[in-house]
Amino acid sequence: MGGINGTTLERLREELRGPVIAPGDPDYDETRSIYNAMIDRRPAAFARCVDVADVRATIAFAQDTGVELAVRGGGHSGPGLCLVDDGLTLDLSPMDWVRVDPGAGIAQVGGGAQLGALDHAAHTFGLGLPSGIMSTTGVGGLTLGGGHGHLTRKYGLTIDSLLAADVVLADGTFVTASETNQPDLFWALRGGGGNFGVVTSFTFRLHAVHSVGVGLTVWPIDRIQEVLRWYREFLPAAPDDLNGFFALLTVPPGPPFPEPIHGQKMCAVVWCYTGDLEEGRLEEVLSVANDPAPPAFHFTAPMPYPGLQSMFDGLIPKGLQWYWRGAFFDSISDAAIDVHERYGNAMPTDSSTMHLYPVDGAAHRVGADDTAWAYRDAVWSAVIGGIDPDPDNADLIRQWCVDYSTDLNPHSMGGAYVNFLGAKEGTERVASTYRGHYDRLAAIKRTYDPENFFRANQNIPPATG
């Protein structure tokens, strides 16, 4: 014990192949800046791990010195779980490698890789992984929470394609968890977040996907009642080839949007079609978007899958203020639509939004207890995001998000996707996210991390007694 000081830091520097970055180092401020600029924390050091040996040495160092450890994958967590004031961040971002075996149809991915690296490496073989909708999100945090995006209805959650994970446990032991090896740990990793160890490598089964049909339909916000009433019936009945997430937005001031709608509050569906892209077929499939109300804008185009995966990167770059909350829905009630209408009209800033991501289709065909993900009966995973570049608007976006979430929650299933939980929502909220799986997760936590060494996360304390 003794924490981090000049002497212990020097020891860590000697032990690692990767660099150790501490206050006073020229790249300290850049290293501690993460995607959400609302998070301004000052860790005592960053251990930038280049391999499993570095990960094991960093864990041993944190155990010896008693310094609190956080783990960083892609740095996209809304509540900034990868940074602890005066703590040590085990930074996996140098471990960003991807190896695709096209013959076997699998990919091995370093624990610090971003989605874009995997999409790029797999695409050349006509393969892809169902994951999230931004290329800069970390494979690590996204996968450990579950992972949903444009291919969820077709190929399931990201965890449904996970075959194995290399993990360094709290006592430094290295294990490869899979269905046949340490199956309890493998079960917990598929949805239980970063509670159980540091994943240094993920092995995924890939799927055939090359170009997809992309669509964006935008309606004026005053048609939200008709649009959501139509969407709640249409989407769950649609074939798995069609994914469409619902969004509230303020139309950005530039192409492809026509000038008259720039800056207007609207509602939208972002489509991804994995069916036949023969001439005219995509337009025909998405012509249904005229059914609820005349769109203000409707766009369709075939696109390489990595193109869709990075389509929003420029709209919400790193460095904005974020405050978010989530919720699961198995239906969208009239009362919920009223709440969406009220807060859609009151969006406080141009970047603020609410998304309803489908988590049905193939994701429903995995058994309710097969993974730690506890909402196989949910049809949508919602995120409410208060977002703005200006730190002076932090209170404004926070208040809108909290009020919206408070009014919406009574119409939800209870919990939220663990990766959309906000800061300090409390243990009850984490428990409601895992429902009937919580006790099993707490028991597995006791086996693999009895001292709750990995606690800078949406924490599941070890079971007692």
Among 149, 213, 292, 358, binds ligand FAD (CB under 6 A): 149
Q: How far is the CB of 35 from ligand FAD (least distance, A)?
A: 5
- What CA–CA distance (Å, rounded) separates 196 from 175? 12
Phi, psi of 106 (to 5 degrees): -130, 160
Which CB atom, from 351 or from 432, has the smaller least distance to ligand FAD? 351
Site string for ligand FAD, 68-87 (x = CB under 6 A): ---xxxxxxxx--xx-----
The reply to whether 286 sits near ligand FAD by the rule CB under 6 A is no
The reply to whether 387 sits near ligand FAD by the rule CB under 6 A is no
Among 55, 92, 379, 416, binds ligand FAD (CB under 6 A): 92
Q: How far is the CB of 375 from ligand FAD (least distance, A)?
A: 13
With CA atoms as reference, report the closest residue to 430 among 184, 81, 63, 179: 81
The reply to whether 35 sits near ligand FAD by the rule CB under 6 A is yes
Would you state the torsion angle of the CA atoms of residues 355, 361, 367, 371, taken in this order, to the nearest 10 degrees?
A: -40
Q: How far is the CB of 103 from ligand FAD (least distance, A)?
A: 26
Among 137, 243, 412, 433, binds ligand FAD (CB under 6 A): 137
**Candidate segments 24-32, 57-65, 140-148, 252-260, binder of ligand FAD by CB under 6 A:** 140-148
Q: How far is the CB of 80 from ligand FAD (least distance, A)?
A: 7
Site string for ligand FAD, 154-183 (x = CB under 6 A): ------------------------------
Residue 214 in contact with residue 303, Cβ under 8 Å?
Answer: yes
> At which residue do the structure tokens 């990995």 appear?
454
Q: How far is the CB of 225 from ligand FAD (least distance, A)?
A: 26
Residue 246 in contact with residue 186, Cβ under 8 Å?
Answer: no
The reply to whether 422 sits near ligand FAD by the rule CB under 6 A is no
With CA atoms as reference, report the closest residue to 149 among 214, 93, 105, 92: 214
Which CB atom, from 296 or from 383, has the smaller least distance to ligand FAD? 383
Phi, psi of 371 (to 5 degrees): -135, 170
Q: Is the dihedral of CA 419, 411, 247, 288 positive or negative?
A: positive
> At which residue do the structure tokens 């950005």 appear?
252
- Return the residues of window 402-421 that contact ligand FAD according to CB under 6 A: 419
> At which residue do the structure tokens 């208060």 appear?
386
- Both tokens of 163, joined, read 């075959």
Residue 100 in contact with residue 107, Cβ under 8 Å?
Answer: yes
Question: Cβ contacts of residue 104 below 8 Å, gap of 6+?
Answer: none
Which CB atom, from 18 or from 74, has the smaller least distance to ligand FAD? 74
Report the interface residues with ligand FAD, using CB under 6 A: 35, 71-78, 81-82, 92, 111, 132-134, 137-138, 140-142, 144-145, 147-149, 194, 198-199, 316, 419, 457
